[in-house]
Amino acid sequence: MRRMEIPRLIIAGVSSGVGKTTVTVGLIGALRARGFKVAAFKCGPDYLDPTYHSRVSERPSQNIDSWMMGRDAVIASFASASRGADIAIAEGMMGLFDGASATGEQGSTAEIAKWLGAPVVLALDSSGIARSVAAIAHGFRTFDPDLRVAGLACNYVGSRGHLDLLREASGGFPVVGGLPRRTEFAFPERHLGLLAASESAISQPQLAAWSKLVEEWFDIDQTIEIARSAPALVVPEDSAHIVGGTRCRIGIAFDDAFHFYYEDNLRRLENLGAGLIRFSPTHDRDLPEVDGLYFGGGYPECAAEELSRNRAMLEAIRAFAAGGGPIYAECGGLMYLSEGIVTLDSRSYPMLGLIPGKAVMSDRLQALGYVEVETRARSILGPAGLRFRGHQFRYSNLEPPPSDIENVYTIRSRLSGAAAAEGYRVNHVLASYVHAHWASNPLVAHGLIDSCVAYAKRTR
């Protein structure tokens, strides 16, 4: 074990929709304007909020999820990503105490805050309230005596006078600031949530506007002092096995259609000797020279016409699969590997056809929540009996459900306990709707690397 000193802070919420992301983005920008190097984090499985953190911090934002990763992996990931930073800022998920259980803290922002010894600034929608802010503060401060709620961020204030009133009403409890409603700077959304900040719809001036508002409406010095009040963090010695040299090369599909990846998963592949090569299934005409392919989630339905029209890339991937190349796909990646994508306007766009069935979009959520996976047979991830954890969040179904190929996953819902067969395998192709986090079982990353190394030995 070792001790790590780093100022840190979690921006949590009374609930979803109270402005956690804008406070986090604005605070990171304001701190950077003061010369701070900021490590950014997102509690929970969200892929989109970290893209905003990364844009403004200019370094990758890491997901830290207590249910999928466990305590030691969360602390280790936090410590590793905080190296070289002056301060760490994490954005919470949903409400502070919301998580994988209705009656316990498992999977919640509160659990992570306690693991990290991080003080919490609680964001709330303060429109239409005054003295009630004291009751909110009292409830959240006293609900869990082992958690330190150290300040409030009172968003959607009507004026500076309103913010002053809230400070007076709080009875001396720190109100570090708040933000007025600025619809002209609001981040646009679509069916999975915010647009990814890497897309052209999110401009640098838009991000900078929130940083300037935080500079104007927050007590930055007070916020920094709260972060500096965090005690030393006890960190397990890093037991990750890092391989020198490149054992294999893995193509990472990365563009506007595919960009949902956990940074921790990618780092695990690199530590095991994988050279990661990004390519665009939407725009590139051919594959890079690789020994495996990894298709993450994203928005293939929004680029369905372009993906379908890029026949050169489709043929290159089909040829790679026909030659025994390992291909692993999650959610949006599964949609691309299917026979086609049917969009909400009922148009059908042919895709790779490596997995039977078409991904049919719906205007309603089709699956949401944590799942546990157990492999029923050997695959490119390793032998039968592997268990790992993940998350689903999708608006499509594979129709008809493939019945003539092997399902190598048993997926069990964290909430309902219901089990289902999934994990579609055809030769060395494996695709699923599950977004897996390999911190739940590091052997999964080892298995994928071993499959890619074996392919490299056969073909080089």
Count of alpha carbons within 13 Å of 266, Cβ hemisphere only? Answer: 21
Q: Is 294 helix (H, G, I), strand (E, B) or coil?
A: strand
Distance CA 198, CA 196 (A): 5
Distance CA 394, CA 392 (A): 6
The pairing of beta strand 367-375 with beta strand 358-361: unpaired
Name the β-bridge partners of 393: 368
Counting beta carbons within 10 angstroms of the beta carbon of residue 245, is it exposed (0 to 12), middle (13 to 18) or buried (19 or more)?
Answer: exposed
Nearest to 377 by CA among 407, 413, 422, 405: 407
First-last CA distance in the chain: 42
User: CB neighbours (10 Å) of residue 414?
Assistant: 18
H helices, E strands: number in the chain: 14, 27
Q: Which of 43, 154, 302, 331 is catalytic?
A: 331
Distance CA 436, CA 444 (A): 10
- In 178-303, alpha helices (H): 204-217, 220-228, 263-271
Residue 331 is a catalytic residue: yes
Cβ-contact 328, 380 below 8 angstroms? yes
Would you say the C-alpha torsion 84, 78, 277, 200 has a positive or negative sign?
negative
- In 117-187, alpha helices (H): 132-143, 160-169
Residues with active-site annotation: 331
